[in-house]
Each structure stands twice: as structure tokens, then as C-alpha cells.
Amino acid sequence: MVWSLHITKHQFFSTKMVYSFKVISSTSLFLIMISCVNIATSQNVCPETVCSHNEPVIRYPFRIRNRQSKSCGYPGFEISCGSSNETILELPSGKFVVQAIDYDRQEIRINDQENCLADRILSLNLSGSPFHGLNQQFFMLFNCSPFDYSEYGLNPIACLSGYTYTVFATSSSRFGFFLQNGNSSCSFIRLVYVPVNWPLYQQILSTDFSEDLRLTWEKPRCGKCESGGGRCAALKTNSSEVVCPDVPHHGNVLPTLYLIFD
């Protein structure tokens, strides 16, 4: 439920306005106004920040651990800065480098610090975190003895391959059947469920999983606020209820506040 409150400075101090509210009591209205002041103050205390130049901008629901207070972010959205000042997100299966954050769409792109995302995918675990894959697709992994894979236009996973074997991943059931049954040099390893960059309907002949993983989150719901030019803030600590001051504002009109409840 989204509740919009738009008032002028004159109305803010008008007793007539208080009596015009049929549903909201004068006490409730006063508490809302006090909350608005507190929220505006908290936004000044929690400004946008970065781990270093050219790194993703961090703001609510994310916060940088040990640099910003817990009230600046939402549980599960803690960010840390690495030894090279890279932006790090820690998931149940380990730490990942944050490549970008799209606050409008509520998406985050992550990759592996050691440049072998395929290896991390084999043990990827998002359970217990607020994130889930945006586009998830099954891939079959195969271990193949040396053969002329360029003939098939395959893209091997170099960081999982060795001198005597090559690892491939495909989402094409037809090509997977060929590798498993029509090519005696290949053996099936396992099936993995991957949050990929591509649309679900697109069949991938082979990939080395070097592209970023795209994750999204449901709560807190700040996408509408961000796309409208506002900046989300917590209504109260550790709550998915958020408020959205509509900025910029002009003249003697106070910011519109969107109170968003799940």
C-alpha cells in the first residue's frame, strides 16, 4: 500500500487542516510529521557513499559495514570494501565483487574476485539472503577429453579445465544430448541452476560464465521511489516499511512523502 501526503508550509501549521482529516486523528498526523522530520535528518546522516572512485554508489537499502550505522541500511544488504577498495557483497556461499547496482529496477550485478565465476556457481547458495536470481536457467556441465571443439563453436570454461580435459556448459538440451551420447570423449558432470544475464527463452550453446550474475530483491520495495527521483529511507530500524521523500521540491511546498507498507 502506498500512501501519498502532499502539503504546503502554510497547511502544515494550519489547525483547519487537522480537522479536515476524517480518518487520521490529530495525534496520528502529528506523529507522521515528526517522523518526516526524523527521516529527513537521517538522510543527511546517511549520505551516498562509495568504496572508491568508479565503484557503485551505496545508499539505502545497502550500507557499508563499519562505515555507516545499521540504521542506514536494511538487514542482509551489508556491503564491505575489499583490500583494493572494491565493493564486496557477502552471500551464504561466500564473497562476490559488486559490479553495479540498479536501484530503480532493484537489481545487483556480481562477479568473482578470482575471475572464475563458473567455480563459484557450482556452490552458489542464495538461501537466507534477500536476493534471488533474475533470470534463472539450467545448464549442463561436461568434462571432455581433448577434441577439436572449435569445429562446434564451443566456448570452454578455461578456469575449470586442465591440460588433459576441457569443461563445457550448455543450456541446449539437443547439444547436451550430443555431448553425452554422440561424443565418447565427453562425460556429464552435473546440472546447475544459474541466475544468468540472458532471457529464459534463449538457448545457450556454450558459455564460460564470465558475465555477471544478475540478482534482484523483493523487500524493501524502493524501485518506484527511486524511479520517481526520490531516495528511499527506512520508516524504522530493521523494518521493510520505507518512506520516499519526493525530491526535488519547489517554493513553499514540502516534499511529497510516500509511505510504503508491505
Nearest-5° Cα angle at 126, 125 to 130 = 165
The pTM assigned to this predicted structure is 0.76
Q: What whole-number distance in Å separates Cα of residue 204 and Cα of residue 51?
A: 35
Is 101 in contact with 107 (CB distance < 8 Å)?
yes
In whole angstroms, give the CA distance from residue 256 to residue 227: 15
C-alpha distances in angstroms, 62 versus 58, 107, 130, 189, 192?
6, 12, 12, 37, 29
Q: Could you give the CA distance from residue 91 to residue 70 in angstroms, rounded to a whole number? A: 18
How do residues 243-259 score in pLDDT, each as one tens digit?
886 555 544 444 444 44
> Would you tell me how many other CB atoms lie within 10 Å of the CB of residue 208?
19
Quote the pLDDT of residue 242: 82
- In tens, the pLDDT along 69-97 reads 888 999 999 999 999 999 999 999 999 99
Residue 223 cell numbers, joined: 524501485
